[in-house]
């Protein structure tokens, strides 16, 4: 079983509006409402892959009630801590004619210390039966930047692998807490290492530097390629995986699907190369439809043959 943790859960409303223009009146051709937040997106993708998953986190107010109801309607097992303040709502506009995506996110709820402690207790309980715990997304207002790091250290003491997908100080502190796997996108990785990433050598440098900061394994995702560093038998192996060419409808949440499919393959004890191929193909498949965490597994399987994975030679220090 995999547990996903989403502190800043949301109701995501996505509107498809062809030829969207600012300042004009439009009629949406399609609307989709889903429970959202990165951890929930990962849980949704794991559910599509028939991997046992429990989604937990914080949910408050009427919006929080709807988040839980939406998850239940999708048959995604969930166990959220109810909080007093209102969970957020996110609105997005997809323009398929221009291949653009405009997103407006509310601030997350204010969380009280006792509510956070209830969540930590919940994570501790759920982790007893988990193969790994995935922490994903931003932290709500009032939550200390070290929240993920403290939770990761607690899981390390109990030998439960943890995965982190976040940004800024919470990401850096989580890496320093020796997270089992960290999965930044290109922008988040650049923030960690303090420089822009361009060619393969830049990415290999970033992988090594993030691993030296404390992360046991590192997976950096970008639009057309991903780079990974994985430790085995006291050695570091570096990989590059090139995504297949597709005509994307919406790339939102594709990194969450990539992570979910990669973890599903690793839990099934598939080799790293195969797991990367499976993950990247699923991420590409998810760009073909609207809705974060949604994808067609058969399409992902079809795209696997178009994913190129190769081993990179480490940069000499």
d(CA 197, CA 215) in angstroms, rounded, equals 19
Tokens of 259: 């992570």
Tokens of 308: 């190129």
Strand 235-242 vs strand 308-312: parallel, antiparallel, or unpaired?
A: antiparallel
Each of the 317 residues of the chain gets a pLDDT tens digit; together they read 999 999 999 999 888 888 988 888 998 888 888 999 999 999 999 999 999 999 999 999 999 999 999 999 999 999 999 999 999 998 888 888 887 878 888 888 999 999 999 999 999 999 999 999 999 999 998 899 999 999 999 999 999 999 999 999 999 999 999 999 999 999 999 999 999 999 999 999 999 999 999 999 999 998 889 999 999 878 899 999 999 988 887 777 889 999 999 999 999 999 999 999 999 999 999 988 878 888 899 999 999 999 999 999 765 44
Which residue, among 106, 109, 141, has the nearest Cα to 12 in the 3D structure? 106
- Looking at domain 2-21+29-312, does it have CATH number 3.30.1360.30? no
Q: Beta-carbon neighbour count of residue 28 at 10 Å?
A: 14
How many residues are listed for the chain in this entry?
317
The model's pTM is 0.92
Tokens 């570096």 sit on residue: 238
Which residue, among 113, 176, 167, has the nearest Cα to 135 in the 3D structure? 167
């Amino acid at each position: 079983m995999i547990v996903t943790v989403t502190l800043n859960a949301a109701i995501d409303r996505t509107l498809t509006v062809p030829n969207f223009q600012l300042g004009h009146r439009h009629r949406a051709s399609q609307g989709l409402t889903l429970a959202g937040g990165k951890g929930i997106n990962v849980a949704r993708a794991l559910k599509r892959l028939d991997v046992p998953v429990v989604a937990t986190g914080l949910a408050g107010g009427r919006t929080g009630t709807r988040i839980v109801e939406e998850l239940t309607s999708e048959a995604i097992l969930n166990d959220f801590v109810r909080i007093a303040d209102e969970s957020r709502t996110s609105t997005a506009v997809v323009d398929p004619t221009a291949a653009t995506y405009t997103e407006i996110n509310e601030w997350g709820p204010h969380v009280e210390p006792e509510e956070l402690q209830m969540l930590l207790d919940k994570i501790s309980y759920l982790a007893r039966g988990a193969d790994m715990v995935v922490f994903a997304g931003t932290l709500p207002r009032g939550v200390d930047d070290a929240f993920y790091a403290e939770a990761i250290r607690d899981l390390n003491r109990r030998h439960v692998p943890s995965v982190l997908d976040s940004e800024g100080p919470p990401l850096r502190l989580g890496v320093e807490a020796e997270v089992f796997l960290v999965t930044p996108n290109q922008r988040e990785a650049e923030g960690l290492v303090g420089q822009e990433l361009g060619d393969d050598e830049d990415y290999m440098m970033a992988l090594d530097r993030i691993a030296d900061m404390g992360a046991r394994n590192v997976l950096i995702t970008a639009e057309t390629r991903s780079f990974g560093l994985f430790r085995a038998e006291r050695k570091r192996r570096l990989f590059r995986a090139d995504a297949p060419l597709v005509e994307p409808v919406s790339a939102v949440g594709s990194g969450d699907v990539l992570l979910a499919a990669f973890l599903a393959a690793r839990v099934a004890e598939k080799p790293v190369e195969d797991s990367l191929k499976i993950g990247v193909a699923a991420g590409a498949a998810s760009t073909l439809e609207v809705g974060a965490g949604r994808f067609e597994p058969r399409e992902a399987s079809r795209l696997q043959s178009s994913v190129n994975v190769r081993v990179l030679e480490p940069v000499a220090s």
